[in-house]
Amino acid sequence: MNSPAPVTSVSAGFSTANPHALATILEASETKSIIASRDIFDISGTKLWARDQPVSQALQRKLLDRKLRQPLETCLYAEDGVNGRALVQAIEVLLAKDTPLSLLLRRYDDKLVHSAHHLQLHPVAQLLLTAGQASRPETFEHAVQAMALAGALMVARGGDTRELRQAMLCGLLHDIGEMYIAPEFGEADAAASLDVQNYRHLVVHPHVGRLLIEQLTNYPPEVSRAVAEHHERLDGSGYPHCLQRDQVSPLGRLLAVTDAVLSGLRGDEAHLARASVALRAVPGEFDLRWVGLVSYNARTQPPMQAREPLGAIQQRLLALDLALQSRQNTAASLTLAAESAELKDAIALAQHLLGRLRTGFNASGLWSPDAITEQDHAEVEAVECELLGRMQGIERAARLRAGESLPADDEQRLELLCQALASA
């Protein structure tokens, strides 16, 4: 269970210009003033771009396959880029919306606005945030939501000014590594639209974000570490390194909850209680100190409504329990036949994740028809949806862990496992 997720060929170095980040910066330069803050040289000393010269498409041609003396990101500056005032305006727009997230944030609005105004933005962070705001507005909005939610949770826990600003900075930067992968592989649509091959690109973005912050900014190590950990889970089921318990830092735990809540609030039926259920569906994934704050705030909001009759949900829950048992049996039988270490590792991961789902199912008491009452009808429905979604995701996790070079017989065994998982 401690094997890290495989890393794809997405470049984590900055000696050459990343094509996706460069394309985003160039698109932003059409509406923003982005200039060279110093002369740009290739590794041999050839001058490619002059200081104070505005960025244009001609820069892309000059940078093609060139190794640079300094990373491109450290050579550019956004004159009219994102600053404290822009962050305050973005938070105020967010607070003015009628959403479950806004209802939570308004309890802490004064401190959030004040801290956003005083966040220290390193020029590299400012450049990339500005580029995202101009050319990938949905990613900038997500960054602002994460900044505000991480800050609100820190305020609710009683954090001091330094802790609050650090939490907000981590939230703002947590997905900055996504700028270095193609936009179609972004996290927002990953669960619904990405196949395993494309998912390999997405899973490296926390690692790329960490390298970027470590190598190109002067932010403290706690920030880069938290960014690297925002998809890790305390039970070892996260990515990219399958960290467990104390291996995940305090800020990393906060970011994991923050990002999971925002994921749970996507869609037309967003409700904070549904996001709270997602945090609790599988015990041991998230830090309960942060989960408790989300659950408390969820109870202060209007109750969510169930979509289907209680009887239909009860029948599906019985089928879900049988499906979990069946898939566990399938995985156990394939383990005995597996030849390669890669397949055995993939099956072990699937067994672990299935076992975690069974633990969550049993802990919820949903196996007992008498446990479901009309009062918690909607929450039970949310638990069912979350467990089904997790079960469907195990197929992709197993394929990702197995890699792409299995022996032919093991490839067939993997297909059998994945077909069983997908059929859920």
Q: What is the pLDDT of residue 8?
A: 42
Both tokens of 328, joined, read 């566990």
Q: Which residue has the higher pLDDT, 159 or 283?
A: 159
Out of 9-13, 149-153, 155-159, 229-233, least confident range:
9-13
Task: Check whether 161 has a pLDDT greater than 90.
Answer: yes
**Per-residue confidence band for 370, with pLDDT thresholds at 50, 70 and 90:** low
**Stretch(es) of the chain classified as CATH 1.20.120:** 311-422
**Residue 244 pairs with which residues in a beta bridge?**
235
Residue pair 327/421 in contact by the 8 Å Cβ criterion: yes
What's the Cα-to-Cα distance from 50 to each of 17, 54, 81, 229, 407, rounded to whole Å? 17, 9, 20, 38, 53
Q: What is the pLDDT of residue 1?
A: 46
DSSP 324: H
Q: What is the pLDDT of residue 403?
A: 79
The pTM for the full model equals 0.85
Q: What is the pLDDT of residue 195?
A: 58
**Stretch(es) of the chain classified as CATH 1.10.3210.10:** 84-119+133-299
DSSP 55: P
Find tokens 């912050």 and name the residue: 213
Rounded to the nearest integer, the mean pLDDT of the chain is 85
Q: Which residue has the higher pLDDT, 415 or 65?
A: 415
Residue pair 139/92 in contact by the 8 Å Cβ criterion: no
Determine the average pLDDT of the residues in 297-315: 76
d(CA 354, CA 330): 11
Topology of domain 84-119+133-299, per CATH?
Hypothetical protein af1432 (1.10.3210)
**Per-residue confidence band for 7, with pLDDT thresholds at 50, 70 and 90:** very low
First to last CA, the chain: 23
**Per-residue confidence band for 318, with pLDDT thresholds at 50, 70 and 90:** confident
**Per-residue confidence band for 372, with pLDDT thresholds at 50, 70 and 90:** low
Task: Kindly report, residue by residue over 74-118, the tens digit of the pLDDT.
Answer: 999 999 889 999 999 999 999 999 899 999 999 999 999 999 999
**Per-residue confidence band for 387, with pLDDT thresholds at 50, 70 and 90:** confident
Task: Kindly report, residue by residue over 24-51, the tens digit of the pLDDT.
Answer: 999 999 999 999 999 999 999 999 999 9
Residue pair 134/32 in contact by the 8 Å Cβ criterion: yes
Both tokens of 12, joined, read 């984590």
Q: What is the pLDDT of residue 10?
A: 43
Task: Kindly report, residue by residue over 135-153, the tens digit of the pLDDT.
Answer: 889 999 999 999 999 999 9
Length of the chain: 424
Out of 120-124, 260-264, 322-326, least confident range:
322-326
d(CA 198, CA 186): 10
Determine the average pLDDT of the residues in 367-381: 63
Task: Kindly report, residue by residue over 262-271, the tens digit of the pLDDT.
Answer: 988 887 677 8
Second-level CATH architecture of 311-422: Up-down Bundle (1.20)
d(CA 304, CA 271): 7
d(CA 359, CA 72): 48
**Residue 49 pairs with which residues in a beta bridge?**
40
Nearest partner of 267 among 105, 382, 129, judged by Cα: 382
Task: Check whether 184 has a pLDDT greater than 80.
Answer: no
Contacts of 135 (CB under 8 A, 6+ apart): 24, 27, 28
Task: Kindly report, residue by residue over 196-235, the tens digit of the pLDDT.
Answer: 666 666 788 899 999 999 999 999 999 999 999 999 999 8
Nearest partner of 410 among 336, 327, 328, judged by Cα: 336
Nearest partner of 127 among 238, 217, 219, 224, judged by Cα: 217
Both tokens of 117, joined, read 């105004």
Q: What is the pLDDT of residue 6?
A: 46
